[in-house]
Amino acid sequence: MATHITLRQIEYFISVANTGQISRSSSLSNVSQSSMTVALQNLEDAVGLPLLQRHAKGVRLTEAGERFLRHVQQATLSIDHAVLAAQEEPDQIAGSVRIGMTETISAYLMPALISTISQRFANLEIQIVERDRQTIEQGLVDRELDIALLLVSNTALLPELKSETMLRSPRRLWTTPDHPLQEAQRVTLEDVAQENYLLLDMDEHVQTVGKYWGKYGVQPRVRMQSKSIEAVRSLVALGQGVTILSDLVYRPWSLEGNRISRRDLSVAIPTMDVGAVWSRSGTVSTQAKAVLELFRSWKRSAL
């Protein structure tokens, strides 16, 4: 290798792979476009192969870039785990904490969450309760649960509960990499309405879609409605339709190994907000407070 690969180069590469534009990624990373371009060129020199292919609207991954991305996405996660390991303390909080989650939260945040809590609080027993939203909210009111992670942007909470937003996940358009909408200068919901739409039916998502589409006076041409995110993901990757979903549930490949690209729309689409929720009444346990503070540190790094 001509040069060493740095974590900063990997972070830039992952950002550009996700946005498809060096200009947008440089803005999100608070670095000049020229500095990011040089860093990416140095990365390609180190790998010895072109990872990005330039086109009129931005960049796309080469085949080598696709292979490289599969592996380096784990690099930043490994660094996070190393930091947590260094922060471990001899005297850790013990006992148990009961955390409620809905299906979407469980599928996309629970594994990393359990790993993070276990590393930070080795003596703390974690009890994850996966239920529908109404059951979890009632469990918090009845003090059967200590804390919960819910999609706080979807519907109002029970008045007996309070929440704190931990993660705001933008919603973007998902298509195949070669879809004409990926190359369009701007994309509106009217443009999306001309396509076959794949509608995910999880955690009040159908109601949320109806609200923001209705705001613009258009409706999606729904080809299929499914409770399976993997079914929607696979159909998008096979070119059977498009969808608008949040970055939280985005993965660049379907189960079959086909690529999925995403892009911003030119109209305002509400974010999907994940929040910590707990009861307004009574005292929050020491264990729940520790987990809540861990959520807040996650929030500072995620938002």
Asked if 25 and 36 touch (Cβ cutoff 8 Å), the reply is: yes
Please, where are the H alpha helices in the chain?
Answer: 7-19, 22-28, 33-47, 63-87, 103-120, 133-141, 180-183, 189-192, 205-215, 229-237, 286-302
Asked if 277 and 150 touch (Cβ cutoff 8 Å), the reply is: yes
| Domain 171-269: assigned CATH number | 3.40.190.10
Asked if 265 and 192 touch (Cβ cutoff 8 Å), the reply is: yes
Per domain, the residue ranges of the chain are 7-85, 90-169+273-302, 171-269
Q: Which among 52, 45, 119, 107 has a CA at the least distance from the CA of 80?
A: 119
Asked, colleague to colleague, whether 7-85 and 90-169+273-302 share their fold, the answer is: no
Answer yes or no: pTM beyond 0.75: no
pLDDT interval class at 83 (50, 70, 90): low
The distance in angstroms from the start CA to the end CA of the chain is: 35
Q: Which among 139, 137, 92 has a CA at the least distance from the CA of 118?
A: 92
Determine whether domain 90-169+273-302 maps to CATH 3.40.47.10. Answer: no
303 pLDDT more than 50: no
Bridge partners (DSSP) of residue 115 are: none
Torsion angle, alpha carbons of 122, 123, 127, 133, to 10: -70
pLDDT interval class at 289 (50, 70, 90): confident
**DSSP character at residue 203:** T
| C-alpha span between 13 and 57 (Å, rounded) | 17
* Region class of 95: left (phi > 0), else alpha (psi between -120 and 50), else beta: left
- pLDDT tens per residue, range 248-276: 899 888 988 898 999 999 999 999 999 99
Q: Which among 207, 266, 200, 195 has a CA at the least distance from the CA of 227?
A: 200
Between 3.30.1370.100, 3.40.50.2300, 1.10.10.10, 3.40.50.970, what CATH number should domain 7-85 receive? 1.10.10.10
168 pLDDT more than 90: no
Bridge partners (DSSP) of residue 146 are: none
Bridge partners (DSSP) of residue 262 are: 174
Asked if 110 and 248 touch (Cβ cutoff 8 Å), the reply is: no
pLDDT at 135: 95
What amino acid is encoded at 67 in this protein? R
- CA separation (Å) from 174 to 99, 168, 249? 31, 18, 11
pLDDT interval class at 75 (50, 70, 90): low
